Chains A and B, each alone.
Chain A
Amino acid sequence: MNLTLKIWRQKNADASGKMQTYNVTDISPEMSFLEMLDVLNEDLLKKGEDPIAFDHDCREGICGMCSLFINGKPHGPSQTTTCQLHMRSFKDGDTVYIEPWRAKAFPVVKDLTVDRSSFDRIIQAGGYISVNTGNAPDANEMPIPKDVVDEAMSSATCIGCGACVAACKNASAMLFVSAKVSQLAMLPQGKPEKQKRVEAMVAQMDEEGFGACTNTGACSAECPKDISLTNIARMNREYFGAKASSENV
């Protein structure tokens, strides 16, 4: 199949970028989206042009490194990561827009690559537990109801790719932060620090320049891991509760 690609090109963080048009030919529908970009980059290299920079790592849909705002949606038309998006989702002759995540807190490094270290700083602010967990405890030593574990684990499936921020009209990071707050707040190991954690993580999120939530639900609808809006409600409860009752003045 043949495609027309409109791709954001930007030399570096300080340069101003623009959309540029490329044509790719003989693309197999079995290729992944990133492989299609690899083919384009091979072409560009042969012509002596600068290849297009984009983020990728495991290409198995579990690392959260790939991004790309494809045809108006983060990770493209299907609810998956870009590396798991295949060219069969497109038709021969299609025009495909490829843009980087757009957020003040995710500055463009080059072309389609953005700096997502604001997420790392939010995690550093409190997305951990402060004691070593040691060896695996005896089974059933610490009883946790199955549904609580399941809920915590489903929050923990967030891979931190930033699609929620990219999809949100306010570039809000609340789905990401709430998933990280939730996965720890629900389990016994995370409970002792839950108040301090949510206060610190929300403060860091605000400092990074993410927007606030308008409950449009776009984040959850586009999340490749299907993180639910109940996480945001849980974070709000945790935050208001912590602000009202914690010892941190």
Chain B
Amino acid sequence: MSWFTESLSSSLGRKLIMSLTGIFLITFLVVHVAGNLQLLKLDGGESFNIYTKFMTTNPIIKTVSYLLYAGILAHVIYSIILTRVNRSARPVKYAYEKASTNSTWASRNMGLLGAVVLFFLVVHMRSFWFEMKFGDGVPMVEYDGEDYKNLYALVVTAFSQWWYVLIYLVSLAFLGFHLSHGFASAFQTLGLNHKKYTPFIEKLGLAFAIIVPILFATQPIAIFFWTQTGALDPSVYEEMIKTAQLAGQ
């Protein structure tokens, strides 16, 4: 092994990878939540669909998205490696442990929290990313003479179902707890611990862990609410999807 790979496979090297990929995923959350706030516009999905086309066709964004998939994979794989090492470091458990007095629940259960978030990611990617990329049920829509995939139709149809919204809300709560520890922890691992900045980073991390999941949650909640009050009619979009599926066959 070279000095480089050897360093990265040490305990600190693995933590460094967790930290850097974690920070990268945090920045992704900001972009994702900001862009998707366009779902809150009641314009029949025009601005959201235009934004979606930009995000799926722009070469720079596409490159970053592949980096993002790699980042998620690395974060998951290294968490599994570290968890295995950490478990083996204590082969005999304590009969009685009072860990709640010395650390937060979230900090001790990052693996569990992360696993739920990962499960959610699979559901989420299957519903939208996979359909968008490989599905034949995405209807087309035309704005100013240009064709766009109508992802908005899929979103409205999905979020008109209460159980689907519930999955999102529960998963976002898990994401919030994951971030409540992960955000500040990533900086500590990088060695960035300073009287001047650490209290700020900790507060920012907590605020981030609360605000970002709430902003994400507004989207399924609002769409579900609108489909209930009649501001949005999901049957119109379901019809579009059915027509597209029939045409695709």
Contacts and interface: CB of A to CB of B under 8 A. Distances in A.
B191 A237 contact: yes
Given A19-B95, A236-B189, A240-B191, A216 B89 contact: no
B101 interface: yes
B219 interface: no
Contacts of A73: 98, 101-102
A58 B104 CA distance: 34
Interface of B (DSSP majority class):
helix
A103 B90 contact: yes
Nearest to A167: B102
Interface residues of B, number: 41
Contact of B96 (A97, A172, A216, A222): A97
A232 B192 CA distance: 10
A202 B10 CA distance: 8
A243 interface: yes
B107 A214 contact: yes
A239 B189 CA distance: 11
A209 interface: yes
A236 B185 contact: no
B204 to A, nearest CB: 16
A170 B84 CA distance: 10
B10 A206 contact: yes
A238 B184 CA distance: 19
Contacts of A217: 102-103, 107
Interface string A72-113: 110000000000000000000000010100111100000000
B103 to A, nearest CB: 4
B243 interface: no
B107 A215 contact: yes
A249 B3 contact: yes
B43 interface: no
B97 interface: yes
A233 B11 contact: no
A212 B188 CA distance: 14
Contacts of A6: 95-96
B11 A69 contact: no
A3 to B, nearest CB: 15
Interface string A186-219: 0000000000000000110110011111111110
Given A206-B11, A249-B3, A71 B98 contact: yes
Interface in B176-212: 181, 184-185, 188-193
B94 A72 contact: yes
A211 B12 contact: no
A218 B185 CA distance: 13
A236 B102 CA distance: 22
Contact of A169 (B7, B88, B108, B185): B108
5 contacts: A8-B95, A171-B90, A211-B86, A216-B103, A217-B103
Interface of B: 3, 7, 10-16, 82, 85-99, 101-104, 107-108, 110, 181, 184-185, 188-193
Complex A-B, nearest 4 residue pairs according to Cβ-Cβ distance, in ascending order: A72-B98, A233-B193, A237-B191, A211-B89
